[in-house]
Amino acid sequence: MRLTPEQVQKVAELARLQLSLDERERYAEQLSAVLGYFNMLNSLDTVNVSPTSHALMLKNVLREDQVRPSLSQQQVMSLAPELSGELVAIPRTFEG
Amino acid sequence: MYETAIGMEVHLELCTRSKVFCGCSTNYGGAPNSQACPVCLGLPGSLPVLNKRAVEFAIKASLALNCEVAPETKFDRKNYFYPDLVKGYQISQYDKPIGRNGYIEFEVEGVTRRVGIRRVHLEEDTGKSFHDVAAERTYLDFNRSGVPLIEIVTEPDIRSSAEAKSYLEALREIMEYIEVSDCRIEEGSMRCEANISIRPTGSSDYGILNEIKNIGSLRGVQRALEYEIKRQTELVSSGGIVLRQTRRWNESELKTEVMRTKEEAHDYRYFPEPDLVQLVIDNSWLNKCRSEIPELPRARRERYVRELGITPYDAEELVADRALAQYFEGVARLGTEPKLAANWLLSDLRRELNQASLAIEQVKLREAGFSELMVLVSSGAIGSKTAKDILGELVHSGVSPAAYVKEKGLAQLSDTSEIEKFVEQAIADSPKIVADYRVGKERALTALVGVVMKLSRGKAKPELVNDLLTQKLNKGRL
């Protein structure tokens, strides 16, 4: 299967990446090669293998519902590029 | 003619102590950005660990809605960009929700309605954003980021705005009963969205869906849907076409309006969350959750009416407050006649609670004490007026009603000779009222009973007072 530069552009938009025309062409080629590996996997007979979502054998890793200390407000705020009082400030986004 | 098909999507914040994937507190009212950590801020290198209680709450909610619970399930990443979603994805459940294929039953105008529950899944809440148009800024508080939510999606089985409201009330009642969420719409712990379409009556295909968001109250749900039914019907009747839109309810202008959508195609690119492992819900875990679900409100109301002889109205009132219903059951179990207990709880005790701003759990007069008070009343040991008068004191002090009555000498007088003295005195002291009575003013008798009650400090048994007064007054006449 070959990816088109248009498909690459759509994925790039969803990921908020800006790609030049040249990059779209280049990544279309590289990502097509990646998809090629999946085609190799497709050639295997998996009739007797049940689908899995995880490679690990672990299951039910759970924690008890106990409160543990958070970061301090100061620590959280120090991570933000801009503040307004006790809130993090960013350029306005439209609601919805 | 057109008919309406409505499906509801409800998000409920679960009342766990800590968030769903980290140990930050879920408390309301903390200082902004004081309940966040590397996990719920999506900092690199942090890993989520699933909160067991959040899973159990989702299982219980699924069971209470008659869902099949998935024996094996997992979490998925839902990818989208919005500043209140710090990681760039929300951990949710896509193709394997914890619950599916359930239903809920409730009454609308005396008729039982059943609405299908398509799915119940567990996910995380986002932070909260505030938009400042003038300053061109959006402000963020991440305290809610990572609080556990369940999303409950119905089939498009709801046919009117009134039904939608009844559905939400029934859902809220059940969720409060099983104590998984406090379901406060105004505070945001219960959020409602509706999908609505109209179709010609009798048609089996659904019309074009519109999604209504931003509904902040039960009344808002009803009004928004009424508005939308009217809008779509008028549009179609005049030859127009309903477009597929996401609309917002504007509470101040009482209308729905098209929302500005950021992303046309909702391509969330779901994939299994690699930072969490599989979740297996075996029968023993399922049964443990099932055993923790109390009798649900609808079943309880029916039992009160059928087995305890309570009126449907009183059953409704009692069951609406789970703690009050439990108190009532305790009192009834101790042998108090259920109807008598229900009357006293719903009128007198509730009035005392309201006056003192107390919850039933805080009342010192517990089930045994209340039951004792009922015995004093029904045996005639004290008058019901006396019982009402001392109830406030009992609620606060927690002393035994029998001991209190004895100590204060409040036992009802049913000794005829003693009451006779008060009756004679009342007649002697009130010549004007007696004269009124003699010229046929029947109401004068009530006034005389009042005088006797006052003289006896409320202890004389009113029925006896009434009899004795009538005897004495009529004897004079003969």
What is the pLDDT at residue B260? 61
Interface contact A84-B74, CB threshold 8 A: no
Q: State the nearest Cα–Cα gap between A93 and chain B, in angstroms.
A: 6
Cβ-based neighbours of B367, under 8 Å, separated by 6 or more: B327, B330, B331, B333, B334
CB neighbourhood size of B330 (10 A): 16
pLDDT bucket at B262, cuts 50 / 70 / 90: very low
pLDDT for A95 beyond 80: no
Q: For the sheet containing B137-141, what is the strand order? A: A83-84, A87-91, B137-141, B128-132
Interface contact B274-A54, CB threshold 8 A: yes
Which residues of B are less than 8 Å from A90 in CB distance? 83, 137-140
What's the mean per-residue pLDDT of chain B?
Answer: 91
Which residues of B are less than 8 Å from A53 in CB distance? 74, 272, 278
Interface contact A96-B261, CB threshold 8 A: yes
CATH topology of domain A5-42: Histone, subunit A (1.10.20)
**Same domain assignment for residues B18 and B87:** yes
Interface contact A70-B34, CB threshold 8 A: yes
Among the candidates B258, B287, B316, a domain finishes at B287
Interface contact B36-A71, CB threshold 8 A: yes
**Same domain assignment for residues B249 and B397:** no
Which residues of A are less than 8 Å from B248 in CB distance? 96
pLDDT bucket at A94, cuts 50 / 70 / 90: low
Nearest to A92 among B81, B131, B263 (CB): B131
Interface contact A87-B17, CB threshold 8 A: no
Which residues of A are less than 8 Å from B82 in CB distance? 93
**Same domain assignment for residues B60 and B173:** yes
Mean pLDDT of B327-333: 94
Which residues of B are less than 8 Å from A68 in CB distance? 18, 22-24, 37
CA distance B439 to B424: 20
Cβ-based neighbours of B443, under 8 Å, separated by 6 or more: none
**Same domain assignment for residues B263 and B300:** no
Question: How many domains, chain B?
Answer: 3
Cβ-based neighbours of B293, under 8 Å, separated by 6 or more: B60, B63, B64, B178
Interface contact B138-A89, CB threshold 8 A: yes
Nearest to B50 among A54, A62, A86 (CB): A62
What is the pLDDT at residue B243? 86
A87 contacts B45 by C-beta, under 8 angstroms: no
Cβ-based neighbours of B43, under 8 Å, separated by 6 or more: A79
pLDDT bucket at A20, cuts 50 / 70 / 90: very high
pLDDT bucket at B453, cuts 50 / 70 / 90: confident
Q: State the nearest Cα–Cα gap between A8 and chain B, in angstroms.
A: 14
Nearest to A93 among B54, B83, B248 (CB): B83
Which residues of B are less than 8 Å from A72 in CB distance? 34
Mean pLDDT of B39-62: 97
What is the pLDDT at residue B420? 83
Nearest to B17 among A66, A70, A91 (CB): A66
Q: State the nearest Cα–Cα gap between A17 and chain B, in angstroms.
A: 12
Nearest to B136 among A70, A87, A92 (CB): A92
pLDDT for B148 beyond 60: yes
Which class for A84: exposed (0-12), middle (13-18), buried (19 or more C-beta within 10 A)? Answer: middle
**Same domain assignment for residues B256 and B317:** no
pLDDT bucket at B265, cuts 50 / 70 / 90: very low
Interface contact B31-A73, CB threshold 8 A: yes
**Same domain assignment for residues B403 and B423:** no
Interface test with B, best of A70, A84, A88 (most B CBs within 10 A): A70
Q: State the nearest Cα–Cα gap between B49 and chain A, in angstroms.
A: 6
pLDDT > 70 in chain B, percent: 98
**Same domain assignment for residues B104 and B160:** yes
**Same domain assignment for residues B424 and B355:** no
pLDDT bucket at B261, cuts 50 / 70 / 90: low
Interface contact B133-A92, CB threshold 8 A: yes
CA distance B66 to B432: 71
B42 contacts B88 by C-beta, under 8 angstroms: yes
Please give the structure tokens belonging to residue B124: 């995380």
The residue range of the domain holding B305 is: 295-408
**Residue of chain B whose Cα is closest to the Cα of A91:** B137
ipTM above 0.95, yes or no: no
Q: State the nearest Cα–Cα gap between A80 and chain B, in angstroms.
A: 10
**Same domain assignment for residues B396 and B424:** no
Mean pLDDT of B411-435: 83
pLDDT bucket at B49, cuts 50 / 70 / 90: very high
The half-sphere exposure of A55 on its side-chain side, counting CA atoms within 13 A, is: 2
B184 contacts B170 by C-beta, under 8 angstroms: no
Among the candidates B247, B262, B287, a domain finishes at B287
CATH, residue B454: 1.10.10.410
B89, containing H or E segment: strand B89-92
**Same domain assignment for residues B221 and B253:** yes
Question: How far are the Cα atoms of A32, B384, B443 from residue B140, in angstroms, in the given order?
Answer: 40, 58, 70
A54-77 pLDDT tens trace = 888 899 999 999 999 999 999 999
Among the candidates B257, B287, B317, a domain finishes at B287
**Same domain assignment for residues B219 and B361:** no
Cβ-based neighbours of B478, under 8 Å, separated by 6 or more: none
Tokens 């790039």 -> residue = A12
Interface contact A61-B74, CB threshold 8 A: no
Which residues of B are less than 8 Å from A95 in CB distance? 129, 131
Q: State the nearest Cα–Cα gap between B370 and chain A, in angstroms.
A: 37
pLDDT for A1 beyond 80: no
**Residue of chain B whose Cα is closest to the Cα of A53:** B272
Please give the structure tokens belonging to residue B346: 């719903």
Nearest to B50 among A61, A70, A96 (CB): A61
Q: Which of A25-34, B35-44, B348-357, B449-458 has the lowest mean pLDDT?
A: B449-458
**Same domain assignment for residues B16 and B51:** yes
